[in-house]
Amino acid sequence: MMHQEMKPVDTKQIKEMLNRKKGKMKRYLSYCAHCSLCAESCFLYMAHDQDPQYMPSYKVIHSLGKLYRKRGKVDRKSLMEMKGIVWRNCVLCGRCYCPIGIHIPSMITFARSILRSQDVYPQLDEASSESWL
């Protein structure tokens, strides 16, 4: 198996995946009013001194939002950055609350699924900077 940093990004496959859920996901992204009410429902946000990077809306906008904005044309560096956002900064506990009704966990799950399709996922067997703590 090829190491995840080496494999070329299949942007066509990403675009196909994005298109499959385009209606629902783009609707969710456009409904976000940036009210930041989701922030305090995230225990990681609270545990990290209210660091904005842990706000559920931030995590979605900088992962799935970015994939839609770029229409799937992203490089491996961007995917690796997103990996940190959707895995290290989110445990998918499903407790994030949106007053508008945006289902944030399904968006993070979808972003993870896209990253997995490009072989980007946590390498937990390597003692390196990949520590998730």
Partner 1 sequence: MIVAERKPLDEIKEMVKGFKKVLNVGCGGCTSICLSGGQKEVGLLNEELKNALAQGNAPFQIDGFTIERQCNADFYSDLDEIIKPYQAILSMACGAGVQFLADRHPSKPVFPALNTIFVGVDRDLGWFEENCRSCRECVLGETAGICPVTRCAKSLFNGPCGGTSRDGKCEVSKDTPCAWYEIYKRLHEQNRLDNILKVKPAREWRNQTRGTLIQEAFKSRYAK
Residues that bind partner 1 in the complex, under the rule CB under 8 A: 1, 92, 94, 105-106, 109, 112-113, 116, 119, 121-125, 127
Region for 89 from its dihedrals, namely left if φ exceeds 0, alpha if ψ lies in -120 to 50, beta otherwise: alpha
Residue nearer to partner 1 on the CB measure, 4 or 36: 4
The answer to whether the CB of 9 falls within 8 A of the CB of 74 is yes
Nearest approach, Cβ of 106 to partner 1 (angstroms)? 7
Nearest approach, Cβ of 50 to partner 1 (angstroms)? 26
Q: How far apart (Å, rounded) are the C-alpha atoms in residues 114 and 40?
A: 27
Nearest approach, Cβ of 34 to partner 1 (angstroms)? 25
Q: How far apart (Å, rounded) are the C-alpha atoms in residues 29 and 60?
A: 8
Nearest approach, Cβ of 22 to partner 1 (angstroms)? 15
The answer to whether the CB of 115 falls within 8 A of the CB of 9 is no
Residue nearer to partner 1 on the CB measure, 51 or 130: 130
**Burial of residue 34 (number of CB atoms within 10 Å: 0-12, 13-18, 19+):** exposed
Residue nearer to partner 1 on the CB measure, 35 or 92: 92
Residue nearer to partner 1 on the CB measure, 49 or 126: 126
